[in-house]
Every structure is written in structure tokens, then in C-alpha cells.
Structure 1
Amino acid sequence: MSAQQQPRSGAAIRLAFLDFYTARGHRLLPSASLVPEDPTVLLTIAGMLPFKPVFLGQKQRPAHRATSAQKCIRTNDIENVGRTARHHTFFEMLGNFSFGDYFKEQAICWAWELSTEVFGLDPQRLVASVFREDEEATAIWTGTVGLDSQRVVPMGEADNFWSAGPTGPCGPCSELYYDLQPEKGDETINLEDDQRFIEFYNLVFMESNRDADGVLTPLANKNIDTGMGLERMARILQGKPNNYETDLIYPLMAAVAQRSPVENYFAASPAQQTSLKIIADHSRAVTHLIADGVTSSNLGRGYVLRRLIRRAVRHGHLIGLREPFLKPLVDVVIQLMGSAYPRLRQREHVIKRELEQEELRFLDTLERGEKRLGEILTMRPAQISGSQAFELYDTHGFPLELTVEVAQEHGLAVDQEGFGAAMEAQRQQARAAAVNVDLTRGGVAESLAAKLGATPFTGHQQLNDESQVVAIVVNGAAAQRAHTGDVVQVGLSRTCFYGESGGQVGDRGLLLSAATTGQPMKMIVEDVQKVEGFVLHKGRLESGVLTVGDLVAARVDRSCRRRAQAHHTATHLLHEALKRVVDPNISQAGSLVDFHRLRFDFNCSRSVTAGEMEQMESLINGWILDAQSLEVSQMPMAEAKARGAAAMFGEKYGDVVRVVNVPGVSMELCGGTHVSNTAEIALVRLVAESGVASGIRRIEAVAGPAVLSYIKPRDQACRQLGERFKAQPTEIVARVETLQAELKQTSKALAASREALALAKALAMVPQAQSNGAFQLLVQRLDGVEPAPLQTACQALVDQLGAGAAVVLAGESSPGKVSLVAGFGPQVVARGLKAGALIGALAR
């Protein structure tokens, strides 16, 4: 390829890589979301992550060969972003993958061909690293490719051996480096010298499986996983001193500089350039995160987003930006990356709205926090104490990581252990203030769980069962026997009672003696809790004696169970309705399912409109009327994910999971209880929508029999209002609006009358004014007058008495409520006297 044809721009490099491998039989796959399918992983941190289930044998391969440009986010080296030439939070990884097809020799030869012939890199400036025990890769580089042996550098396991974890697929890797200073020669090659060498292409050869003993055995199907950093290749081909000055990122720095007092990146100081780099990097990251459905919060990936936004805002503050600036940068990001990632344009409005809200929210916090931190720094402390850092966090909302960053800029450390201790002390105070004591959280329940293991649950199939008592807890201590009147917790060998978990409350019901002889035992089950899988039935022993080893009959309250089932299935329908009506990227942030209502928390940066609430309610009730039968099945986790079942981030799932499917509507991993057909729900009513935290909204609803309980008192109130106003229910609102308008007019007329009365009373006081030369002094009490009319009366007296008037009025408008007003004429004011100062002194 001629020099004129060789790609130089970031977009051309991306396209050339993908074209090279698609021409060699690779299937072109789109970038996966930054929010990975795997609920155990926070963000997509590598190009191979979407294919990890394939490499682990959990999912079928999408093709024999594949290639992609994958967007990635890493924050483990965030302190280096903008300070080194190559560190980023957001980056693009170009990759080619083989799933049991070609292997080491083909991967190396294609990497060399792409680097030297397509990208035109000088072979004399390329160096390859290999795993020290990988003689095959060394032979390919020196023999097949023809690379000088001095430029093939053996490395240890820490640098050149990849594994998915302690066990599983693994193998050596080989990396290509570009020599920025070839004049130093081949005798002094040190690949850890990042001033001279830049690693740009990593080839992983997955050829072995490591067992629990560390033994490696060859894989039947050997795989290739590669990654080329787009930003690094752009730096090399464009001849830039760092990744930031390439055409992939520099336009963002230029846009920020132009909006700030800095104006020109190249004329900026080193510190200002660092801030510009951080803002440019973080603006790419946050734009893509929001496009993929992440909203700001204090948890998980929402916290990553919030942290990046706040770091960008702070560095904007450092270069003199006092007004919001992130929203306009979205246009630049879309201009640079919109063609490669169309979702950016599709979500432009959402991205801008989220950034605008979060930036405005933080600006006030930043101002207050920086002011207090500045006060601390002026004291020249040896370090910022844990209590000071906690004060900044707790009182001023200043994040710990920003305190650490500012402290480092001033050569100081932060006592993070002390901060953690202060945080824990606050938590302990909150716990001490709690009034409820939950015995299941004590050591006894945990000990029983460790000893007896998880309780088998039969409640999906039946609501009545017989079981043996395996544990009794009375007054927080394990016991062999409980008597009438005792408040107890009972463990059974198996149970049909659902233990509180997944947001669903525990069942209610009875435990009865199964034996037909002896005194009958009856225990009312008021709550059911689960501790590490062990189920404890909590309640009061109404009669009889209960002993460990007894056989009991368990009876779940069918009415309560039906209500909980209706609310739980309704929660799944609500989740899907939110995705379809409000935002397809909405995800669950918490829930409560009980007998009387449901509550669903979700990630969303804005409130749900009344129109959207109505639309969702109609959609949900339409699904209910469709009378869809639910499909509940057990399957391997990998199969459930492959079918598209939704999992909640942060939840722990086993290898085999329970999938609840409402055909054509919703499919979720869920261990809760559900109706067998949507028609059993009967009706859903969405009753409230509110914000519970930054970026977290909440919808409350009622379903099934609970709808009637919700409607009854409201219907009764509506009837009473109709009778009182002599209006039909549909006319009540209009009738109230009319009464409000009439009341407003009456209130205005009454206020005018009071003001006129006060004025008349005040003018009657004119003769009581005392003369002193050119001045007229009047001090009087005027009760029963509100502050505003009293002020009007005072001004009328000043006007009546002339330029030398000094008037002070006091009065009690209502019992215990005293008002003071004063007014001075021009001649009095000319003497330097102020009415406001006088009233202030009198009030004190």
C-alpha cells in the first residue's frame, strides 16, 4: 500500500483494521454495550469481554472468526489519566478473534502484515515480546516473519501469560511494540521504558486449561484473542507525542480551551493541559456511558459515571470555567464518533439532559467543598485528617476521591483509614438509633444456617406441607422446646413458606401439630426470614408445646400468597412497560413486593410524566387481559442469558437459575412466587411516582385485591365531596376550582378593606405628632393590622406630616405576633438616619 493510501485518521485506522480481517473471513460484529450482559461484571473493560462466555464454553460461537471495534471503560488507573501519554478511562479496542479456527502462526503473520503493509510501520522499529516458555511463538517471529532475534524479547508470566481466573482457559501472549527512539539501538531494549516503546497490539493464544491444582492441559479447541488500541495506533501514525493530540481526542480539548480563559491548548501551562486532557477523556466516557443506559447514582456503574462527571467539572473549574460546559461537548463527541457508534445520535437528548442535570447539581457542591478544603490547606497540615475528609464528604458533599486528588496536587496525603473509621462510626450511630431488633441477623441464626444448611422450598408447588422441626430460637437463643405465649423462630426440615428475599416479603400462615395425640400445638407465623438459605418462621405460640423433632403441618395463608403473587408478577410487567414507554435502558434498582402494594425503584435521570404513567398502566392491563400463562423453568445460567433473560446487577446467582417468562412480554431470573396466568392479577393501578435518590426514581402500585382496598376510601371521599358540593364526581374538580377563584377574590377584597381601615386609623393619629423645630415625631401602637397594611399606613403618615417626619408604628396583628415599622422623611434621612437600622435595633 502506498504512503498516500495508508490510513492516518482515527476513523480510517478503525475501518482499515476491520476491512483487513473481514477480507480474511472474519465476521464483523458491532461493539457490545459498556453495560455487559454478565451481572457479575460492572463495565466492559476489554474487547474480548463480550466473547468470554464463548471462550469459557458457556455459549455457542457467533462465527469461526470475528472482528470488532469495542468501546471500553477502565478506571483502575484514573489517577494517571491526562498525566501520561497513554492512559484513558474510555478507549477503543480493535480485535480479531478465532474460536477454534486458526491459531498462533496465522495470528502472528496477519498482525505483522497489518502493521507493516496496511499501516506502513517500519519493520526496523517493531519489537515483539513473547512468553519466555513459548518457543513456538519465538520461532514464528524469528523464522516465518523474519524479525531479528534481538527484537524478540522473552517476558515472564506476569507480563505475557493470560488467564480468565485461577482456573479455566489460559495461554501465553505476544505483544507488538513501536520503537519511538530507534537510534538507541537493539542492545539496550527495555520494553518497560514507555518513553521509548509503546505497546499497540496484543495477541493472546488460549491453548491450555488450568485446573484447581494449577496443572495445565491442552485445550481441544484453541482460540485467538487480540486487541489493538486505536488511540495508540493513531498516535504512532499521526506522529503525536501522546494519544490526546490525535484527531480522536484533540478536537475536544480545543473546544474546551476555546470556552475557557485558556483559549489555546498549545499555549496552556502543563497543569492546564492536564485538565484539558482529563475533561476530553471523561467527556467521551460519560457520553458513551449515558448512551448505553447508565444514569448517575451512588452505586455501581452509576457511581463511576458520577465520579467521571465530577472530575471533569472540577478540572473545568481549575481552568476558569464557571458555567456548565459538558452539554456542548456532546456535539463534538457525536461529530467525532457518531458514524461508528450510531447510538450516540439516537440518545443525544438523553445524554445532554443527564449531563446538564448532574453538572448543575455538582457545581454548588464543588464551590462549597473547595472553599472548605482551601481553608484546611491554608493551615499547612502534615496531612488531611480522616475527620476533615469526612467533614468535607458528610457536610459539604465533597467526594473522598476529589479530596485525595486535590491533596496530591499540594503534596499531601489523606488519612483514608481515619475517613473509613469516621464513616463506620456514623454507621454505628445509625444502627444504635434503630428501634427494631431482628434476631435473624444475630449469631444464632447464622450458626444454625452453617450447621443445617439451606432449607428446601416446596412452596412453588403447594401451600400445605408436613415437616420436622429442626431448630427453635426463643429470646435470641437456641432452645429445645417452646411453650404457650413464647415468641419463637422455628426452622423446618423443608417448608412451603416463602422466606423474604428478592424484594418479596415472607409468607404468613400457621404451624399446627401433625400428631393426633397430645395437646394440640398452634403457632401463628407472622414473618418468614431467610439467612444464608436457612428459613426461620417467626411468630407466637398460641397453644401447646413445640419441641425440636416434632412433626408439624405448615399452612400458608392463601389470601396473602395470592396478593404477593399478583404484586410480584405485576412488578415484572411494570419493569417491561418502563422499558417500552420511558427508556429501553432502564434497569431495576430495588423493589418491595408485599400483600398490600408493590414498589419498584429504577435508574432514570428524570421524572416519569403523567402521560407516560397512563400509557404504562394501559399497557400492563392489556397484558393482563391477554391472559398469558407464565412459563417457569430451571436452566443453566449461560442458557438463560443466551435466551435474553434479564438479571439484576449485584444479585448472586447459581449455576442453575429459575427463569420466569411472560411470553412475548418479559423474561427475568427470579426466585419469587408468581401467578400462573396474568388474568389472575385482574387489575393494576399505578398510584405514585417520585424520586428517592439522585438518578433513582420510584413507582408505587397496587394489583389484584389490593386495588379494591386502595379505591374504597377514595371512592367514599369522592361521594362525600359530591354530596357536599351537590356535584357529580366528574364535576367536583371544576366546582373546587370555582370555589378557589371565589375565595381568592374575597381574600383580595378583605385585604383591601383592612388596608383602608388601617390607613383611616393611622391618619386619625396625625394630631398626636410632636413637633421639634422642623421635625415631626409620631410613635403609636396600632393593633389588629397585618405587617403590609401597617407599612402602608406608616408611609401615609410620613407623606401627611411632611419632609421632617419620623414615624414609628408597632402593633399586634394576632396574639403573640408583633410587627414594628418605621418611616423617615427626606430631611431626617439627610441627617444620616435609617429607618431599617432603627427597627433592627428596636427588635434586638
Structure 2
Amino acid sequence: MSDTPQYLSGSEIRSYFLDFFAKNQHQILPSASLVPEDPTVLLTIAGMLPFKPIFLGQQKPDYPRATTSQKCIRTNDIENVGRTARHHTFFEMLGNFSFGDYFKEQAIKWAWELSTKVFKLPPDQIVVSVFEEDDEAFEIWRDKINIPPQRIKRMGKKDNFWQAGPTGPCGPCSELYYDFHPELGDKTIDLEDDSRFIEFYNLVFMQYNQDAEGNLTPLQNKNIDTGMGLERMAQILQKVPNNYETDLIFPIIQAAADIAKIEYKKADEKTKVSLKVIGDHVRAVVHMIADGITASNTGRGYVLRRLIRRVVRHGRLIGIEGAFINQVAEVAIALSETAYPNVRQRETPIKGELDREEAAFLTTLERGEKLLSEIIAKVKKSKKKQISGVDAFKLYDTYGFPLELTQEIAEEEGLTVNVEEFDEEMKKQQDQSKAAHETIDLTVQGSLDKLAEHIHPTEFLGYTDAQSVAHVEVVLVDGKTVDSAEAGTEVQIVLNQTPFYAESGGQIGDKGYLTGETLVVRVEDVQKESAFFVHFGRVERGTITVGDSVTATIDRACRRRVQAHHTATHLLQAALKKIVDDSVSQAGSLVTFDRLRFDFNCPRPVTPEELQQIEDLINNWIAEAHEAHVSIMALEEAKAKGAVAMFGEKYGAEVRVLDVPGVSMELCGGTHVRNTAEIGLFKIMSESGVAAGIRRIEAVAGPAVLEYLNEREAVVKDLCDRFKVKPHEISDRITALQSELKSTQKQMESLQQELAIAKSDQLLSNAESVGDFKVLVAEIEGVDPNGLMTAAERLQQKLGESAVILGSIPSEGKVSLVAAFSPKVIKEKKLQAGKFIGEIAKICGGGGGGRPNLAQAGGRDSSKLKEALESAKKQLADSLK
């Protein structure tokens, strides 16, 4: 292995690891699913989880030694994702395992050989830790591997005793850390300093089982369970500042940055955090869906939904409007398909699930974000620091806004949420829901079931009549039968006969009126409950009483619109069969007054060219004025003639057939035009994927086309007026404006840099001498984080051996802090800019970090900036004397 290159790709690291242990008699096994067989664990969180029954002695191993690259999901540190260099939800754990075969000494020797000989890590840049009570491991590292004792650190149970969960196999562990700054020497080793050290390999000496009470019982066999973080080793070997900038994740981040038109390296820290969250979470959701997880409100389905929603949310934060996840997911799929072929094989369900969840959550965001911003403004105005649980629950209950998202946005604004009050509101709703289920006989259906023996099924006259006289059979208010209802009352009414179409077959119910001498009832919807048509409406004048005779009149304009859309749906299916594939079949539909929606089975998107052909073909059929014939015939006869059945419909012995000769023949109980010319015009609005192998077309027909085009013409006119251009010049004008905006942004950034430098030069005279060093602590007004960093670095260089701390409030409520330390400050006084500024930022309710010589931090409480700077000045004075 002497020719191993210093730089290795993620795929190469995975291969080198597995090959090394295969040559040492380990069986290479495939990654287990993210859905574990262990019912006590929600998701696969570690490489050892698939072997848990073996470690417990419940199952005999097929091999004494194994090695894997295991997909893992952990969400316990989700808030740190993107904020630190190496926290993830999805990651790959490279592992080697011994099932009662070898133990500590051999595991340690192989770990050292792999790290120093295969991956060529310099031995003097590796520090190890052991459990404080594990003398055996300490002696192996010191005496067998010859690591100096000062580079072997004993640590407590919190850090060096591993367990997969509250119960199960566990044991002491020994961890290997890579030292990025060995020049700082052995006397200052602090393994919690993640700017200097990264843990990359964990050796667990699995020798106990822990029960629910925390009792440890020795396992029958002593086992080895190790884990090397693939992403962490990639960071080390690829010499990048964090896991996210490795070839395993950065292409995903770059895809998101491209969509947002952001240059990653020039982005501010907040934007980078959002891009990292997107990169991490997209990897996670792609693999979760590939392993069969679907979004839901419980269990692992909820984990998936939450991650997708966080991706959407962070996309919005960096300026991405509309759907984008699948563009980024394609990169994640491409990166994974070699090592995990099932990801590409499951591409269709992955993209379908992401499309569906993203669309639903974008709607939720639009509804909820406005209200939440109003709530936050109200809370801040009242000088409070907490959003009430009542407001948070309203967001959740009315708008579907998740509690944790409210908490996340609140935290960005320096606020908290009253979770206890939220839980109380949730319990109230659950109690009310339970009470409602206990009185099910009060529902419309329950009441009608009781009356079924006394009234006849509703006779539908709507195929031929738009108006009819009818008798009022039943009046219901809030689901309960009543004798009468007065003006202002919401009612449900059953008639003996009706021209109103009840919602079915994808077609919505008719609108209209029930009238009498002094009575007016506006009908807004009609639903079918068993054999009864239930008219939902409101008494606008007079009183409606059981036994009354009323005139039932449908809204003819609405009926004509829905008929145009319904017949157009049939033409759409016929056109799809002709142009896309004859195997296309309906998977669902919705026919309303203002549009139609048609879902169909298709393994791929319909191309723009095909959509245009479909639209042209349908408009040709409309212009050709085909007669639409409706006939009643036996089901078998209809099938023999080639009639197509509609999705979700149940058919009796006799069926209704709509036949547009030469174009379409389908079974359908809906209402239709008599001639295709009545449709007028047909326009496709969109085509999208909604589920695995299911596509959706939304379109308009008849008068709705004019409304659709008028709306878009108004937008075009507005743009023409604003830009002073002709319609065909709009696209070029927007492109030019985008270019100008980008140029202006660059100029602004340059001006910010110049402003920072100009203001910083004025501060040189404020530097104070402390011992052999210069100290400068100051606030610079109106400078952004990048400008502040430039100013601090410039001042430190001009002052020589010095420590510079600068603060600014770049936007309302936000704090930016920067520390720049000279080499002598770091080496002689043992101060590190990253750790120092991170502690100072806590005063402002924030945090941060970075390199020993230059680091950046932020905070949420700008009122504390002066206090933070004073504290920094005092600490530097004390430390540098």
C-alpha cells in the first residue's frame, strides 16, 4: 500500500478501508437498511446495530469477523448540523467487527496500521483517548504502539464509554484524533478543541450489556465494534476545513448554491450554514426514501418529513423561491449510486415523495410565515422574550406549522416558545376530538342512517333538467335533524329529487339556490351520503321546514364551466394515450368550475414538446366540433366496445358511456358538453410529478382560459410598463437586470471592504500596550461580517504582535464579532482566537469559532455588544500581562 496517494476521494477511502480488513480475514458485508430490524430503535444509528443480536449472544454469527460501510441517521444533534465542521444527520460509518474472535490488542494494532500505513497519517499527528479506568488499553497504546504517554488521554464515561442506546451492548472505547496543529505541542492538548483536533476512529471494546436500570452484565463473548467516520477521514485527506467541503457533500451544496445564484466561498456564515444544512439533509432524505421510508406525522416518517421541511426552510432563507429539492437530490443520487445502487433504482419514488412533501410544505410556509412574523413583532413590541403556547398551537392547528419550526425561527429572533402551554392546548384539542368521536350519531351520515327507513333515495334529474320542484325530506343543523331552520343558519338539506349534481367521479358538486315564496337558501356544495344527495348551504331569507315544496335551481354558468372541464379531461386522457404512451391510465382527477386536474400513470415527465402537441391536438378536436353522445348500456357491452373505465368509480350492471366518436369513449357518471365546440379552448397550466410513477397535469378550459390568459396578460403589461419594453423584450431585460444586480452586489461588497479598512485605520491610535503586546478592542459601526474580518486581520498585521477584537451590528438585533491574534499571542500566551471569541459571543446570546489566529462569531442580542467588548478587553489585559 506504499503507493497510496495522499489525497483520496470518499469512494477511495471506503474501498481502502474495506479492502484492508478483507485482507485481514474480515467478510465484507453490505450496508443494512436505515430501517432497523431492532424494534427498539427508530433508525440505524451506528454500524454495530445490525449485529446487535450477535453481540447479545442471541444469534450466532456467520463469520467471526466482518467489515462494512454502514449508512446511518442521527438527529439528536440536528441543531448543530451546518454550524460545526462535522455534525451530520446522515453519515457513513466504516467499521470492522469481531464476534468473540480478536479483542483490544489486535483492534488497536490494526487501527494504527490502517491510519499510518494505508492512509499515511503522520504518527506524530495522532492523539488517542482511553476510558479513565481502562489501564489495559492505555498500556497497549504506550507499550505496543509506542505512543508517548502525554499523547494518550484518559477520559470519563461521557466521552469514552459507548452505548447504542439506553439499553443493549456497550463497553469502554478508545478514540483516535487527528491533530491539525501539532506545532502547538503536547502540553496544550485539549481534545475538545475542535479547531485543532478531530476524532476520526472509535474502537469500542464491547464487553457488557446494559439493562433498563443501568446495570452492566458481562457479555458471553468479548467483541470489537469500531467506527471510522467516512466524512471525517475525507476532510483530513482532502485537506478541507470541514466535512461539508469534501467530495461526499460539497457537490450537493454547490447545486443548491447554483440554484440560489450564490458563490459559496464569498457567502456569509449564515448562508453557508443553510447551504450545509441542505447538503446534509438532502443526502439523508434520499437514502431514507430509498430504504422505503415515507413521510408521515409519526416515527421515522416524521423524521423524514422534518428533514424535508428543514431543507425547504433553509432554501427559502438563501433566496430560493419555489420547488428545488429534486434538482439537488439528483446530485445526491448520482454521488451515491455506485456504492448504493438501490438509490438510483428507487429514483422515481424518491423524487415523487420529495415533490409531494415539498409542495405541501411550501403551502404551509406561505400560510404560516406571515402570521408568525406578526406574532414575533407583537412579542418584541411588548418587550417579552417568549411566544405563547396558544399562538404556537394556532400556527400548528390552523396552518400546519410544526412546533419545532416555530421554535427554530423564534430562536433566530432571540425568542423562545412556551412549550408547556402548547402541550396544554394540544391536550385540549385531543380531549375535544375524543368527545366528538363518542357522539358519532350526531354526524350527517349517522342521522341519515337512522332516517333511511322512512325516506326514499334522492332522484337525480340533473342530466336533463337545470331546475325542478322538490319536497324537503330532511333538514339538519350541525349534523342533527331539526324541523326547521331560520335565516342565517348553516344547513344540510335532503330533497326527494334534485337537479344538483353531487360530488363524485372527480367532479365537484353543483352550486345554486332552493327558493320558495319567502325562502332563499344558497347551496354551496352537494355531497352524496349513501343514496341521499345532501345540499350544504345557508338560509339567506325566510325559514325552511321539513315538508316544504321548493324550487331547486342550479347555477347554470357554473355547470357549463364544470362540463367544459370534465369533457376536456376525457380529451386529455385520449391525447396522452396518442402522444405519450397508449398505456397511460388515469390515477385520479378533479373537475372544478375554474380548472381541471388529471393524474395519470407514467414513469417519466411529459416533455414540453409533448405538452404542446397534446394541447394542439385537444384544441383541434374542440374546433372540429365532435358530437358527444351519452348512452346507457350493459357493463360488458361497454367494455366490448372499448370504453375506458374511470379511476375510483364503482360500476353496476348498467353503465353510462360518454362517446366522442373517433376521439374518446369512457364510462362516466359526470355531466358533459353536447359538442366539443362548447369547450371553446383548452390550455395546459402545468405538468409535475406527485408520487412514484404518477404525473399530474393541471389545465383550464372554456371561460377559465380567458381568465387565465387575462391574469398573465396583466402581469406582462405591468412588466412592460415597469421596464419600458415590448413583451418579447421582457426576458432580455430581466437577464440584463440580473447581471446589473450581481455587478452592484459585487460593488457593494467592495465598498464594504473599503469602508471597513477606512474605519479600521482610524482605530490604530486606540491600541493599548499590554506587556509586549498591543491590544485593540473596538466597535465599528455599519460593517458587515466579511468587512469586519478584513479590518481585524489588517489591524493585527499593522500592530505586529497583538490581539484585535472588533464588534459590529450589521443588522437590527444581530451582532458580529471577530478576533485576530498574532503568532506570539497564540504560542506564548496559549490564546486561540476561535475559542476566545466563541466565549465572548455567548454574552450576546450567540457563539462561533475558527482558526487560532483568526475567528468569527455572532450573537442575537445587540444590546450586549458593549458588555461583550469590555469583557474581551479585560480578559486580554489579564492574559497578556
Q: TM-score, normalised by structure 2?
A: 0.50
- How many angstroms apart in 2 are the aligned matches of 1:727 and 1:322? 51
Residue 643 of structure 2 corresponds to residue 737 of structure 1: no
Residue 424 of structure 2 corresponds to residue 421 of structure 1: yes
Change (3 A) 1:382 1:99: same
Change (3 A) 1:61 1:404: same
- Look up the equivalent residue of 1:731 and give its one-letter code: E
Question: Are 2:167 and 2:210, in contact at CA under 8 Å, matched by a contact in 1?
Answer: yes
1:107-256 superposed matches below 5 A: 107-163=107-163, 169-208=169-208, 218-256=218-256
2:433 corresponds to: 430
- Look up the equivalent residue of 1:232 and give its one-letter code: R
Residue 408 of structure 2 corresponds to residue 405 of structure 1: yes
- Look up the equivalent residue of 2:37 and give its one-letter code: E
| Equivalent of 2:393 in 374, 390, 395 | 390
Residues 201-259 of structure 1, C-alpha deviations (whole Å, 9 max, x = no match) = 11011234568997766544211000000111111111211111111111111111111
Measured after TM superposition, the shift of residue 195 of structure 1 is: 2.2
- How many angstroms apart in 2 are the aligned matches of 1:140 and 1:188? 23
Secondary structure (helix, strand or coil) at the match of 1:285 reads: helix
- How many angstroms apart in 1 are the aligned matches of 2:356 and 2:208? 50
Secondary structure (helix, strand or coil) at the match of 2:195 reads: coil
Residue 357 of structure 2 corresponds to residue 345 of structure 1: no
Question: Are 1:7 and 1:119, in contact at CA under 8 Å, matched by a contact in 2?
Answer: no
Change (3 A) 1:747 1:132: closer
Question: Are 1:132 and 1:155, in contact at CA under 8 Å, matched by a contact in 2?
Answer: yes
1:327 corresponds to: 326
- Look up the equivalent residue of 2:372 and give its one-letter code: L
- How many angstroms apart in 2 are the aligned matches of 1:232 and 1:170? 23
Question: Are 1:6 and 1:118, in contact at CA under 8 Å, matched by a contact in 2?
Answer: no
Question: Are 2:368 and 2:395, in contact at CA under 8 Å, matched by a contact in 1?
Answer: yes
- How many angstroms apart in 1 are the aligned matches of 2:211 and 2:237? 43
Measured after TM superposition, the shift of residue 337 of structure 1 is: 1.6
- How many angstroms apart in 1 are the aligned matches of 2:301 and 2:68? 26
Secondary structure (helix, strand or coil) at the match of 2:203 reads: strand
Change (3 A) 1:747 1:226: closer
Question: Are 2:176 and 2:199, in contact at CA under 8 Å, matched by a contact in 1?
Answer: yes
Between 103-112 and 389-398, the greater mean CA deviation after superposition: 389-398
Question: Are 1:65 and 1:99, in contact at CA under 8 Å, matched by a contact in 2?
Answer: yes
1:86 corresponds to: 86
RMSD: 3.1
- Look up the equivalent residue of 2:104 and give its one-letter code: K
Measured after TM superposition, the shift of residue 163 of structure 1 is: 4.1
- How many angstroms apart in 2 are the aligned matches of 1:746 and 1:177? 78
Secondary structure (helix, strand or coil) at the match of 2:386 reads: coil
Measured after TM superposition, the shift of residue 41 of structure 1 is: 1.7
2:309 corresponds to: 310
Residues 378-410 of structure 1, C-alpha deviations (whole Å, 9 max, x = no match) = 221421111111111111111111111111111
- Look up the equivalent residue of 2:656 and give its one-letter code: V
Question: Are 1:180 and 1:196, in contact at CA under 8 Å, matched by a contact in 2?
Answer: yes
- How many angstroms apart in 1 are the aligned matches of 2:676 and 2:189? 89
Secondary structure (helix, strand or coil) at the match of 1:45 reads: coil
- How many angstroms apart in 2 are the aligned matches of 1:299 and 1:364? 21
1:444-593 superposed matches below 5 A: none
- How many angstroms apart in 1 are the aligned matches of 2:6 and 2:394? 56
Question: Are 1:7 and 1:16, in contact at CA under 8 Å, matched by a contact in 2?
Answer: no
- How many angstroms apart in 1 are the aligned matches of 2:410 and 2:678? 62
- How many angstroms apart in 2 are the aligned matches of 1:743 and 1:403? 46
Question: Are 2:56 and 2:209, in contact at CA under 8 Å, matched by a contact in 1?
Answer: no
Question: Are 2:48 and 2:225, in contact at CA under 8 Å, matched by a contact in 1?
Answer: yes
Question: Are 2:201 and 2:227, in contact at CA under 8 Å, matched by a contact in 1?
Answer: yes
Residues 485-527 of structure 1, C-alpha deviations (whole Å, 9 max, x = no match) = xxxxxxxxxxxxxxxxxxxxxxxxxxxxxxxxxxxxxxxxxxx
Residue 278 of structure 2 corresponds to residue 275 of structure 1: no
- Look up the equivalent residue of 2:67 and give its one-letter code: T
- How many angstroms apart in 2 are the aligned matches of 1:750 and 1:359? 37
- How many angstroms apart in 2 are the aligned matches of 1:751 and 1:73? 53
Secondary structure (helix, strand or coil) at the match of 1:82 reads: coil
1:260-271 superposed matches below 5 A: 260-262=260-262, 264-271=263-270
Question: Are 1:3 and 1:120, in contact at CA under 8 Å, matched by a contact in 2?
Answer: no
Measured after TM superposition, the shift of residue 78 of structure 1 is: 0.6
Change (3 A) 1:111 1:426: same
2:29 corresponds to: 29
1:799-818 superposed matches below 5 A: none
Measured after TM superposition, the shift of residue 60 of structure 1 is: 1.7
Change (3 A) 1:321 1:63: same
Change (3 A) 1:690 1:188: farther
- Look up the equivalent residue of 2:114 and give its one-letter code: L
- How many angstroms apart in 1 are the aligned matches of 2:323 and 2:678? 47
Question: Are 1:291 and 1:343, in contact at CA under 8 Å, matched by a contact in 2?
Answer: yes
Unaligned runs of 5+ in 1: 439-687, 692-724, 753-787, 789-844
1:556-635 superposed matches below 5 A: none
Measured after TM superposition, the shift of residue 352 of structure 1 is: 1.1
Measured after TM superposition, the shift of residue 200 of structure 1 is: 0.8
Change (3 A) 1:348 1:104: same
Question: Are 2:49 and 2:164, in contact at CA under 8 Å, matched by a contact in 1?
Answer: no
- Look up the equivalent residue of 1:316 and give its one-letter code: G
Residue 373 of structure 2 corresponds to residue 374 of structure 1: yes
- Look up the equivalent residue of 2:26 and give its one-letter code: H
Secondary structure (helix, strand or coil) at the match of 1:188 reads: coil
- How many angstroms apart in 2 are the aligned matches of 1:422 and 1:152? 53
- How many angstroms apart in 2 are the aligned matches of 1:167 and 1:247? 36
Change (3 A) 1:347 1:749: closer
Measured after TM superposition, the shift of residue 375 of structure 1 is: 1.4
Change (3 A) 1:179 1:61: same
2:546 corresponds to: none
Change (3 A) 1:344 1:729: closer
Measured after TM superposition, the shift of residue 110 of structure 1 is: 0.4
- How many angstroms apart in 2 are the aligned matches of 1:91 and 1:334? 15
Residues 787-814 of structure 1, C-alpha deviations (whole Å, 9 max, x = no match) = x9xxxxxxxxxxxxxxxxxxxxxxxxxx
Question: Are 2:4 and 2:118, in contact at CA under 8 Å, matched by a contact in 1?
Answer: no
Change (3 A) 1:68 1:374: same
Change (3 A) 1:246 1:324: same
Change (3 A) 1:186 1:726: closer
2:295 corresponds to: 296
- How many angstroms apart in 1 are the aligned matches of 2:673 and 2:182? 88
Change (3 A) 1:216 1:325: closer
Change (3 A) 1:736 1:360: same
Change (3 A) 1:433 1:24: same
Residues 91-135 of structure 1, C-alpha deviations (whole Å, 9 max, x = no match) = 000000000111110000000011111111111111111111211
Change (3 A) 1:422 1:745: closer
